[in-house]
Amino acid sequence: MSKTFRLTLLLIAAAGLLVAGQAATAQSASAQSPGAASPLAAYPGFGHHPQADDARFEREELARERLIERCMADAGFEYQSAPSIDADDYPDLASALAAAQNDPNELYVAALDPAERERYFVALYGVPDPYSENADNLHDPASPVGGGCSGEAFRAIPGVYAAKNALRDELAALERAVRTDARVLAAEERWSACMAARGHAYGTPRDLHAEIDETLAQAETFGRPPAPAIAREHGRALADARVCDGQAGLRSAVVTARIEHEAAFVDANRAVLDAHLERLESEALPNR
């Protein structure tokens, strides 16, 4: 990354870029605000405690890897348990790809003859070639059987985000309910009017974030930083957005609406959520 590009990104970040969006901001606020407590915060994996969720996810991944290692040994193959490669841990994509190519499991399977390689993949994933175009159609991850050692490991440890994945349609409805809540819509109108008075044409904070995301995506695609004037304008818009948020009471409106809609979500899905919590509390996971 060029020095100019890095400085441009830092300028935007320093202005208060909230790329994660309004929903994550409101979840964090509802967890921290005195007197504001969403019942959904009691259930891991739903965004109220992201650092704890991520830490648990890493421990779950290690536990699964160890299960896979033992399962593959039983099938007669070598397998070294290791966490997955996260591109964010490397300075660039090329470094991440190089690390992936040097994965001991990849090197091991590359040395197998074609017939043994098929047996290896069937043992690991339940399919003869996980890289084929129709591989995803050969096994349903939600099935109670199949998927090889990997499938067994995921069934043994579904993970901190399992309930969130199972309830994704209900969560999508929850997000729509928050966005279309009359209190939120009224606050967004006040926010937009405040921004217009300061020379910005944005209907909601999402519009501003989307514009910045698009600018950064284009910069990454073409390998050059955004024009300094654009970066400065976005920085000014973000600074004004924070002021307008306070004047419009937008954050407060979103937090209030979210807590109420999340309470209704918990009531409607309590059986799934309670089973999720009980499972997580009963799992013994290794430390990193």
Res 20: pLDDT: 37
Task: Answer yes or no: is pLDDT of 148 > 80.
Answer: yes
Task: Answer yes or no: is pLDDT of 277 > 70.
Answer: yes
Task: Answer yes or no: is pLDDT of 194 > 90.
Answer: yes
Res 55: pLDDT: 93
Res 33: pLDDT: 47
| Higher per-residue confidence, 88 vs 237 | 237
Average pLDDT over residues 155-171: 96
| Higher per-residue confidence, 134 vs 184 | 184
Q: Using H for helix, E for strand and C for coil, what is the string for the chain?
A: CCHHHHHHHHHHHHCCCCCCCHHHHHHHHHHHCCCCCCHHHHCCCCCCCHHHHHHHHHHHHHHHHHHHHHHHHHCCCCCCCCCCCCHHHCCCHHHHHHHHHCCHHHHHHHCCCHHHHHHHHHHHHCCCCCCCCCHHHCCCCCCCCCCHHHHHHHHHCCCCCHHHHHCHHHHHHHHHHHHCCHHHHHHHHHHHHHHHHCCCCCCCHHHHHHHHHHHHHHHHHHCCCCCHHHHHHHHHHHHHHHHHHHHHCHHHHHHHHHHHHHHHHHHHCHHHHHHHHHHHHHCCCCCC
Res 11: pLDDT: 43
Q: Give the lowest-confidence range in 76-80, 103-107, 182-186, 231-235.
A: 103-107
Predicted confidence (pLDDT) per residue in 20-40, tens digit: 344 455 555 554 444 468 999
pTM of the model: 0.77
Predicted confidence (pLDDT) per residue in 97-138, tens digit: 777 778 899 899 999 999 999 999 999 999 999 888 877 766
Percent of the chain with pLDDT over 90: 65
| Higher per-residue confidence, 3 vs 153 | 153
Percent of the chain with pLDDT over 70: 85
